Amino acid sequence: MIQIQNISKDFGSQTLFKEAGFLVAPLERVGVIGRNGSGKSTLFKIILGEEDLDGGSICIPKNYTFGHLSQHIHFTYPTVREEACSVLQENEEGWLETHKVEAILFGLGFDEESMDKSPSLLSGGFQIRLNLAKVLASEPKMLLLDEPTNYLDVVSTRWLSRFLKQWKGELLLITHDRHFMDSVCTHTVGIHRQKMRKIQGTVQKLKDTIAEEEEVFIRTQENEAKKREQLEKVIDKFRFKASKAAMVQSKLKTVAKLGPIERLSHERNLDFSFTEAPFPGKRMLQIKNLSFAYPNGPQLIEDLSIEIFKGDRIGIIGPNGRGKTTLLNLIANELKTCNGQIEYNPNIKINYFGQTNINRLNLENTVEEEIQTAVPDSSRGRARSLAGLMMFSGDTALKKVRVLSGGERSRVLLGKILATSCNLLLLDEPTNHLDMESIESLIDALEDYEGTAMVVTHDEELLHAFANRLIVFDQGICFSFEGSYQDFLETIGWKSEKKEAMTSLPLAQTEKKETVVPNKENRKARADYIAERSRLLKPLEKELSRIEEAIKRQETHAAELEEKLVLASEQNNGELITSLAKDLDENKKQTDHLYDSWEIASANHQEVSAKYPLD
C-alpha cells in the first residue's frame, strides 16, 4: 500500500497539484485519468523518485518494489528470450520460470521465430513491448504503466487486459483507452483542478461524481455570493451609526469567514464535426481481387474483394504489421497495387488522416499557418477558427509545429482535415496521442458524419461505437466481415484467443476419452451409471456452492473495508488506515485462497462430468 498525502507540485507558473492525495490499498488496480498536461506522468515520476515534491509526502512501505514501463531502450542480452528472462530470479529449486516469460512474450505479439532474434533488430514498437514483457515478468509489488497500449494492436491489448485482471499486486494505470481501463481497474483516480479524487468503479462513475460535486460547489458559491451581498448592504447602511457598531463588526466577521469567491476555470474540450461533400449514387469504390506485398516482404493482402457504399462505417482491425495501414495507403493512392484493382466513383473526395501524414506537417509553420495551407481560399479567419476548434486559441495558435507534442500535432492534422469537405474519410489510428475527452469528441464527430468512413484502430471503444462492417487481418488472412465488432467477437473471434482458451482448459476438457454411456433401453445399467455419476458429482457441487458463498462474504466484507479505508484517508487517520489496510490484505489473501480452491473443485467437477457424460 502507498499513501500520497497533500502533495504539491509546480512547474514555473503552472500548478499541477495543490495539497492533493489518495491511497492505493493492497491489490487495488487504479486507473489515473486527467486532461493532457494535468500531471499524470509527473505523478509517476514523483512516485519513482525522479521528480521532487514542493510539498506533502508519499509513504511507501519498506522493501516495496515498482515495475515501470520505460520508453528508454537498453538491451544487454543477445536474444529476445534471454533479455526477457534477465529479470527472473532463481527459485528454491534453482531454475528460472522461462515458460512464464515466453507466455508473456507470445501474448504481446512475439512469435517463435522472434524469440531468438537480437533485440536490436526489433522495430521500435516491439522493443517497447519487450520492455513491457520484462516489467510484467519481474512481478513487482506495484506496476506503473503509462500508456501501455500505445504500441499494442487490438489482439495484444485484449491479452494484456486479461493478464492485468489476474495481477496479484497493485497497479497504477494511465491510458487514453477507456474500455481498456474500465475492464482492468477496480478504482479510478481523477486529477482535476489540481486535486485528486478517487472512487471505486469506472471512469464514467468518477466523471459523474465530479460533475455532481462541481454542481454543489457552484450552488454553494452562488448562495454565499447572495449572502455576502445582503451582509454588505447591511454593513453599508449602518457603518457610520454608533449604535449599530457592534452589529456591523459582527457582520464584517461573518463576511470574512465566507472567504473569497472561487471561480471554476473552464476546461475546454474538442468540439468539431467533419464536413461532408455531396455524393450522388450508392457505390463509392470497389476493390477487386487485391493483392499486395512489399519487395522481399511477406504477402500482406491477398485476393481481397469488397464494395464500399455511401454511409458505410468500416473498421480495419488486426495485429500490427499485417497490412492495415498499407490498405489505407492503397485506397488513398499513396501506393500502387501489385495485383487486382481499386475502382473509384468519379465523385469520390478522400480525406486521409495517416500516421505518416503527421510527419509531413511543416515544422516551421505556426499552427494557424499549417491549417491555413488546407483552407480552400487560404482564409486566415477560417484557419484561426479551426485552430480554436482544435483547442489552439489566442497565442497558442501562433506556436510553431516543431514545439508541439504528438497529441497537439494530431489535432493540427485534424484541423487540416476539417478544412476541406470529403465523402470518404480514411483514419489511421486517430486516437493515438488523444486524451479521453478528445476521443469522445472524435467518436461523436464520426457518429454525426453522414459520409463514408474507414478507420484503422485498436481502440475497442471506438470499434464498438463506430463500425457496422469490418476488414479483418488475422493469422495471415485478410477478409471482410458483414456486421459489428461485437458480432465478430461472438461469431468468429480472434484465432489466437481461441488457441489460448484451448490450452488453458483442464485436462478433462482438452483430452476426450472414450466413454460408453448405457443406452435408455438398458434401464438398470443406466440407473446404476446415473447413480454413480450423482454420487461423485454431488459432494463436488456442494463444495463449489460452499466456496462460492464464502467468496461472496469475503467480497462483501472487502467492499466494507474499502469504504472505511477511503473515509479514513479523507480524514488523514494514519493509524486507522494502517489497521484497515492489514485487514484488507488478510481478506484478499483469504479470497485468493478461496478462488484457488474453487478452481481445483471446478476442474474436478469438469473431469467427473467428462468421465460420466449424459447423452
Q: State whether the Cα torsion 131-136-139-140 is positive or negative.
A: positive
Residue-wise pLDDT for 344-360, tens only, equals: 999 999 999 887 777 78
Mean pLDDT of the 426-443 span: 85
Give the tens place of pLDDT for each residue, 140-189: 999 999 999 888 888 899 999 999 998 889 999 999 899 999 999 999 99
pLDDT digits (tens, 9 = 90+) for 91-124: 644 456 788 888 899 999 898 888 989 999 888 8
Q: What is the pLDDT of residue 170?
A: 93
* pLDDT over threshold 50, residue 509: no
CA 260, chain centre distance (Å): 39
Q: What is the mean pLDDT of residues 269-286?
A: 86
The helix (run of H) or strand (run of E) holding residue 234 is helix 203-238
Q: What is the pLDDT of residue 281?
A: 86
Question: Would you state the pLDDT for residue 611?
Answer: 77
The tens digit of pLDDT for each residue in 17-49 reads: 999 999 999 889 999 998 877 889 999 999 999
| pLDDT score of 99 | 82
pTM of the shown model? 0.68
Q: Are 145 and 174 in contact (CB under 8 A)?
A: yes
Is 60 exceeded by the pLDDT of residue 516? no
The type of residue at 298 is P
What is the percent of the chain where pLDDT is above 90?
Answer: 34
pLDDT for 67 beyond 90: yes
* Mean pLDDT confidence for 545-565: 83
> Cα separation of 314 and 456, whole Å?
9
In the prediction, which pLDDT does 94 show? 43
Q: What is the mean pLDDT of residues 244-248?
A: 75
> Chain centroid to CA 391: how far?
23
Asked if pLDDT for residue 503 goes beyond 70, the answer is no
Residue 510 is predicted with a pLDDT of 37
- pLDDT attached to residue 398: 92
Residue 417 has pLDDT above 90, yes or no: no
Question: Could you tell me if 291 and 299 are in contact, meaning their C-beta atoms sit under 8 angstroms apart?
Answer: yes
Higher confidence at residue 500 or residue 488? Answer: 488
> What is the maximal distance between C-alpha atoms in the chain?
112
> pLDDT of 305-314, one tens digit each?
999 999 999 9
**In the 3-class helix/strand/coil scheme, how is 206-232 assigned residue by residue?**
HHHHHHHHHHHHHHHHHHHHHHHHHHH
What is the model's pLDDT at position 262?
A: 57
State the pLDDT at residue 330. Answer: 94
Residues near 222 by beta carbon (within 8 Å), at least 6 away in sequence: none
Q: How confident is the model at residue 499 (pLDDT cuts 50, 70, 90)?
A: low
For residue 76, the tally of other CB atoms under 10 A from its CB is 8
Tell me what the mean pLDDT of segment 439-463 comes to.
Answer: 90
Residues in contact with 53: Cβ distance below 8 Å, sequence separation at least 6, in sequence order: 7, 8, 9, 46
Q: What is d(CA 342, CA 336) in angstroms, rounded to the nearest whole number?
A: 10
Mean pLDDT of 519-538: 71
pLDDT score for 19: 92
Query: Would you tell me how many other CB atoms lie within 10 Å of the CB of residue 582?
Result: 12
Q: Which residues contact 595 (CB under 8 A, 6 or more apart)?
A: 551
Domain spans of the chain, in order of start: 2-207, 208-258, 523-611
Taking all residues of the chain, what is their mean pLDDT, rounded to a whole number?
A: 84
For position 595, what pLDDT does the model report?
A: 74
2-207: in CATH 3.65.10.10: no
When pLDDT is averaged across residues 281-285 and rounded to a whole number, the result is 92
pLDDT at residue 90, rounded to an integer: 65
Backbone angles phi, psi at 283, to 5 degrees: -85, 125
The average pLDDT across 315-327 equals: 90
Per-residue pLDDT at 185: 94
Instruction: Place 500 in a pLDDT band, splitting at 50, 70 and 90.
Output: low
Q: Which of 444, 473, 478, 482 is nearest to 461 (CA)?
A: 444
**189, 7 contact by CB (below 8 A):** no
Q: How far is CA 605 from CA 509, 515, 596, in A?
A: 11, 16, 14
**370-407, pLDDT tens digit by residue?**
999 888 777 788 888 888 888 888 888 899 998 887 77
